[in-house]
Amino acid sequence: MRFRDHIELSFANLWKRKLRTSLTAFGVTIGIGALVSMVSFGKGMQKNVTESFRSLDLFNSLTVFSEGFMASERFDPDQRPAEPVPSEAPGVVLDDAALEKIASLKGVETVFPEIRIPAVVRFKGKDEFRLVQVVPAAVASSRILRFSAGKGYASDEERSLIIGDSLLRQFGVREPPAALGQKIVISSISFDFSRFGPEDLTAALSGERLPFATEDTELTIVGVAESQAFAGPLPIQSDLFIPPGVSKQMRKLPFSNVWDIFRASEGRLGYSALNVRLSSPAFVEPIKKEITGMGFRVFALADQFKEIQRGFLIMNMVLAAVGMIAIVVASLGIVNTMVMSILERYSEIGIMKAVGAGDRDIRRIFFFESSVIGLIGGIFGFALGWAVSGIINRVVNYFLARQGVPYIPYFSFPVWLALGAIAFSVGVSLAAGVYPAMRAARVDPVRALRHD
């Protein structure tokens, strides 16, 4: 039998039983739709992370910590360390001397300390609490930040700042260019013992009167940075960036998180971390070795990226497994439809055999029919998955946008997913057609043609 005849015959047969065919194919559609949206969600998340790693040049980044501190502390101050901080760790302090030493290593492009100043930001009559990050002008202007308006500050001394567009939105500014040139007030907190008498000590210990004072610094907005959708462990991650010169003049606390206080109590404060950018990813390993040799801890994002990839693989598999359940149910529907079809067409099969159809011809007729169901289900299923995830994406982004979260495409539809979904659907349908096809081929023509 010719391929074309198989196609025509199967479409004709399926068309004859439109309702049943469409119900069965609809089952497949739902299954494939579920699978496609699950996989595209997994892939979408993975793509977002991978792309932000790529575009931000994160494979060139290292973060240096003083020995004894967990890499995770910096990213999640609320998280408890996995093990107690060894207080008798060798006292190598992450200070300016260490910074200079690291900066002089071959392959190191820039080094800047990790400084975040807790502050209240006042703009347009509203207050927001934020950690203000101190970033050198050279880094702020590099491609690690993307600007939706304006640019980075020109020098480390300029009295200006960069604001993230999501924070700007919370201040009610929707158009980033409108914010450029406007004044913004950073209110930092610092120790103030000038009006702190001995009689205040007891009150301070119980937390009633603390020796703190605030100081306002007025800065000009020169740039609006796009918020990073997938911040994660980025060296640059804040809603506000100020140059080091401004930071030096600000009165502020000498620590930005609880772990800094621990170290301060041991008399070796230094910086909580140093952000190191290399000229090429090839330097990651040698530099890591050298800095570790100095007695510091080094965290490379490239290493963590591998972990992230592994995590995504597992997540994708779990999502695909959930989608598979619907496919299995749909394939049972195909088996049922095809077996029904055999019973109905029993005499037709007998006739075909009597006029010379071989077992193989009959088998193929049924294989083609089930794969056409799979093909239809696969195409519509992909369309359904695409449509549903498009709607979910819009709805989720609509609500998140109101909270200042930038637009994220949560789903990804690479070409292979479309082709793969359809091919998979056809494949599953073929598998579902095995039993019916075998059964059809075994039909005894004498029994099928017996006229009762």
Query: What character string, x for contact with other proteins (CB under 8 A) and - otherwise, covers 114-133?
Result: --------------------
Q: Shortest Cβ distance from residue 314 to other proteins (Å)?
A: 48
Quick one: which segment of 84-92, 179-187, 266-274, 348-356 binds other proteins (CB under 8 A)? 348-356
Q: Which of 141, 359, 408, 423 binds other proteins (CB under 8 A)?
A: 359
Nearer to other proteins, 90 or 356 (CB): 356
Question: Left (φ > 0), alpha (ψ -120 to 50) or beta: where does 282 sit?
Answer: alpha
Angle at CA of residue 147, ends 146 and 153, nearest 5°: 105
* Chain-centroid distance, C-alpha 410: 8
User: Among residues 5 and 216, whose Cβ is nearest to other proteins?
Assistant: 5
Cβ atoms of 61 and 300 within 8 Å: the answer is: yes
CB nearer other proteins, residue 185 or residue 351: 351
Within 391-450, which residues bind other proteins (CB under 8 A)?
Answer: 445-446, 449
Distance, CA of 429 to CA of 28 (rounded, Å) = 9
Work out which of 347, 404, 405, 408 binds other proteins, going by CB under 8 A.
347
Nearer to other proteins by Cβ, of 200 and 348: the residue is: 348
Instruction: From residue 92, give the alpha-carbon distance in Å to each of 65, 88, 267.
Output: 10, 11, 11
Tokens matching residue 237: 């991650």
82 binds other proteins (CB under 8 A): no
Q: In this chain, which of 19, 82, 343, 355 binds other proteins, going by CB under 8 A?
A: 355
340 touches other proteins (CB under 8 A): no
Q: Which of 261, 314, 321, 354 binds other proteins (CB under 8 A)?
A: 354
DSSP string computed for 63-88: EEEETT--HHHHH-TTSPPSS---TT
Which residue, 12 or 343, has its beta carbon nearer to other proteins? 12
Give the total of residues touching other proteins (CB under 8 A). Answer: 25
Using CB under 8 A as the binding rule, whether residue 95 contacts other proteins is answered as no
Least separation, in Å, of the C-beta of 354 and other proteins? Answer: 6
Are 396 and 360 spatial neighbours (Cβ–Cβ below 8 Å)? no
Q: How far is the CB of 364 from other proteins (least distance, A)?
A: 11
Least distance (Å) from other proteins to the CB of residue 351?
A: 5
Q: Which of 212, 360, 396, 438 binds other proteins (CB under 8 A)?
A: 360
Of 229, 247, 249, the C-alpha closest to 237 is 229
Structure tokens at 321: 């497994």
| Candidate residues 152, 353, 372, 376; the one interacting with other proteins per rule CB under 8 A | 353
* Residue whose CB is less far from other proteins, 300 or 352: 352
Nearest residue (CB) to other proteins, 192 versus 361: 361
Q: Cβ closer to other proteins: 379 or 440?
A: 440
Rounded (5°) CA angle 50-62-280: 75
* Smallest separation (angstroms) from other proteins to the CB of 2: 6
Q: How far is the C-alpha of 402 from the C-alpha of 398, rounded, in Å?
A: 7
- Point out which span in 26-34, 139-147, 221-229, 357-365 binds other proteins (CB under 8 A): 357-365
CB of 381 to other proteins, least distance (A): 29
Picking from 266, 273, 277, 336, the residue whose alpha carbon sits closest to that of residue 302 is: 277
When the beta carbons of 169 and 353 are compared against other proteins, the nearer one is 353
Q: If DSSP codes are grouped into helix, strand and coil, which group holds residue 396?
A: helix
Q: Which is nearer to other proteins, 7 or 396 (CB)?
A: 7
Query: Rounded to an integer, what distance in angstroms lies between the CA atom of residue 65 and that of residue 102?
Result: 12
- Shortest separation between residue 439's beta carbon and other proteins, angstroms: 15
CB of 372 to other proteins, least distance (A): 17
Dihedral over alpha carbons 397, 403, 404, 408 (to 10 degrees): -20
By CB under 8 A, tell whether 16 contacts other proteins. yes
18 binds other proteins (CB under 8 A): no
Element holding 189 (H helix, E strand): strand 183-191
Residue whose C-alpha is closest to residue 164's, from 178, 182, 145: 145
Write the DSSP assignment of 221-241 as a string of letters.
EEEEEPPPSS-SS-SS--SEE
Q: For residues 4 and 397, what is the distance between their CA atoms, to the nearest angstrom?
A: 47
Q: State how far the Cα of 418 lies from the Cα of 264, in Å rounded to an integer.
A: 57
Question: Could you give the CA distance from residue 122 to residue 128 in angstroms, rounded to a whole number?
Answer: 7
Please identify, among the stretches 44-52, 180-188, 296-304, 347-355, the one whose residues bind other proteins according to the rule CB under 8 A: 347-355
Q: Which of 334, 357, 379, 443 binds other proteins (CB under 8 A)?
A: 357
**Residues with Cβ < 8 Å from 223, sequence gap 6 or more?**
140, 145, 147, 149, 150, 151, 152, 153, 162, 163, 180
> Which spans of this chain sit near other proteins (rule: CB under 8 A)?
1-2, 4-5, 9, 12, 16, 347-348, 350-361, 445-446, 449, 451
